[in-house]
Amino acid sequence: MTFPTNQLVELCKDFSPNITNEQLEQFDLYAKMLVEWNEKINLTAITDPEQIVIKHFYDCALILKNFGLKQGASVIDVGTGAGFPGVVLKILRPDIKLTLLDSLNKRINFLNELCAALKIDVTTIHARAEDAAQKNGLREQFDVATARAVARLNVLCEYCLPFVKKGGTFLSLKGPAANEEAVEAKNAIKVLGGELRSICSETIADNEQRCFVIIKKISQTPPKYPRISAKLKKQPL
């Protein structure tokens, strides 16, 4: 199967203009391993080569157009699944320190093999976000937390903001309902120590809308958050 990863050079030229052949080879290997492993475990509903490049790789790369990721930033990708957006960011920005968190061990096994094959240095953690966020060494330790299509924003904030250090950022990748979700999450953002800074919108393939919700961490998250998953979902902030 051939993947049109060279399309990324044109698609990303305005915000990531120096994509190398080595990086394109990494994306090609990523796509191949994604499709291969997807036959064994559920990683993605998108398996068409061009759709993988646009709706996974380009979609995640657009973070770099809409957010100034500082040099050497520590990033945790919460509920990373098949590595989106974390691994895409690491390929394009090898300087970042990346942690991938997922609750399913099968996905962590895939990510370990993927990152070894790509020769990228990544920390993987098999845990639920609400458990991991209470641990020393993880709680309020990261410059940036990312999450892509994991839950409604009010719930997602409780999973992710506890990982972010004061002055850091929670960056959520959302669909066209992002503004509506942001209104719904207003209380959660405030209670958890965040402040909504902006919502940026991009159009990807087939007029599909991608929104980037950028939330600044302005104060510490109260120790009781995140709550256990059942309570968190049943009584969102």
Per residue in 21-50, pLDDT tens?
999 999 999 999 999 999 999 999 999 999
Report which of 63, 44, 173, 55 is spatially closest to residue 114, judged by C-alpha positions.
44
Position 94 scores a pLDDT of: 97
Q: Which domain holds residue 100?
A: 70-234
d(CA 112, CA 18): 27
In a domain, residue 17? The reply is: no
Residue 156 maps to which CATH number?
3.40.50.150
Helices then strands, counting H and E runs in the chain, come out as 12, 7
Question: What does the pLDDT look like over 130-169, one tens digit per residue?
Answer: 999 999 899 999 999 999 977 899 999 999 999 999 999 9
In a domain, residue 107? The reply is: yes
In a domain, residue 56? The reply is: no
> In the predicted model, is pLDDT for residue 220 greater than 90?
yes
Q: What total number of domains does the chain contain?
A: 1
In a domain, residue 30? The reply is: no
Position 109 scores a pLDDT of: 97
In a domain, residue 23? The reply is: no
CB within 8 Å of 139: residues ≥ 6 apart: 133, 162, 163
In a domain, residue 20? The reply is: no
In a domain, residue 38? The reply is: no
CB atoms within 10 A of CB 156: 27
Record the pTM.
0.96
